Amino acid sequence: MHNTDPAAVARASEPVIRVEGLAKEYRVYDKPEGLAASIRGLFRRTSRVVEAVKGVNLEVGQGEFVALLGPNGAGKTTLLKLLSGIVTPTRGTATVLGHVPWERADDFRRRFALVMGQRNQLWWDLPAAESFRLHQEIYRIDPVRFEKTRDDLVDMLGVRRLILQPVRELSLGERMKLELVAALLHEPEVLFLDEPTIGLDVVAQHTIHEFLRDVQRRRRMTVILTTHYMKDVAALCERVVVITRGDVLYDGSLAEIVDRFTTHKIVTLDFDETPDRGWIERFGFPCEIRGPQVVLRIDRSRIADALPGILGSAGVRDVSVEDVPLEEIVAELFRADARDAAAAGAAT
């Protein structure tokens, strides 16, 4: 049988990104409390080693759109900084487009882009159009090509009227759209996105989702996205990599993470009026009553047998059957890993 999964096909060819045993450690100096302890600390400082990334192995093929998920402090942003050459690793190897990122070769720097949701690459007091011109000079983009690419991108995002305004006068969503335009002017082959929709409203998020889907498909860019918003993942990514405590906990398809880590589905029933709790509980499923709406959690293997009896009851006017929300699955993965870490710490 032929494998038709686009992500699997991409990885079967020579990977665009290859990471083997990549680790990054930081030495953190503890600051003691109290005046006397602080004075002693001037002469004898205590420190500890923090593993931001711990022996990560990863391969990403051309044209993949990969979500990198993890709790705060899991090492997601550090991994992107390693892959973009901003920091050097403590140990391990990595190549992106055949280059070692931290060697910072000119050819490599022209072929990737990094967008960080909480950092600005546009000049704050200048119109974005001036920053775009600066990018043209930095990346030595042909003037004709530059103008065509710029016009295409600003029209796709509907921001042409904004490019002559000082960046400081723009809203967060408007600035992020222009940050994306700036990052894509030199037509990178690899794009690293670190929480690009953080703090944005629903409309801005949706616009950026559509834009990224369209650009990624047209250019066959390889994209790695870190985010805390599961709507970003569901809208954009087919593959999910979950990182906790600096290590990869899960690497697979978005569909597989639902099948692998859940045993039930969410069944929502709408009644004409609030049903009797006793009637609901007799079916034996965990339930939550929200006025005339009832939410049941039913084991996947029992859905087909249970639904006819439930739907045959009087008063049911609508029903929906859905998978467990992705954010709930990922949150439980984080909690389970935290419990394992606490148990391992207690055992030592």
Distance CA 12, CA 144 (A): 37
* Dihedral class, residue 316 (left if φ above 0, else alpha if ψ from -120 to 50, else beta): beta
Distance CA 275, CA 292 (A): 7
3-class DSSP state of 288: strand
Amino acid identity, position 82: L
Q: What is the pLDDT of residue 118?
A: 67
- Give the H/E segment covering residue 25: strand 17-29
Q: What is the pLDDT of residue 82?
A: 96
| Overall pTM > 0.75 | yes
Total number of residues shown for the chain: 348
Q: What is the pLDDT of residue 31?
A: 73
Q: What is the pLDDT of residue 2?
A: 42
Alpha helices in 277-325 (DSSP H): 277-281, 303-311
Sign of the CA dihedral running 187, 20, 115, 327: positive
134: which 2 tokens?
Answer: 């600066």
Phi/psi at 49 (5° precision): -100, 130
Assess contact for 130 and 87: CB atoms under 8 A. Answer: no
Q: Which DSSP state fits 197?
A: T
Biggest distance spanned by C-alpha atoms of the chain? 78
Distance CA 142, CA 87 (A): 30
How many Cβ atoms from other residues are within 10 Å of residue 123's Cβ?
14
The domain 263-323: what is its CATH number?
3.30.70
Assess contact for 225 and 195: CB atoms under 8 A. Answer: no
All residue ranges of the chain with pLDDT < 70 are 1-13, 36-43, 118, 313-314, 348
pLDDT digits (tens, 9 = 90+) for 45-57: 777 888 889 999 9
Beta strands in 38-83, from DSSP E residues, in sequence order:
47-60, 65-69
296: which 2 tokens?
Answer: 């049941």
Phi/psi at 116 (5° precision): -115, 120
Residue extents of the structural domains in the chain:
6-22+56-259, 263-323
225: which 2 tokens?
Answer: 């996205």
Distance CA 19, CA 250 (A): 15
Look at residues 28, 31, 67, 70 and name the one whose alpha carbon lies nearest to residue 51: 28
Distance CA 84, CA 102 (A): 7
Distance CA 33, CA 160 (A): 53
What distances in angstroms separate CA 228 from CA 41, 121, 238, 256, one per listed residue?
37, 22, 16, 19
Check if CATH label 3.40.50.10470 holds for domain 6-22+56-259: no
Phi/psi at 328 (5° precision): -70, -40
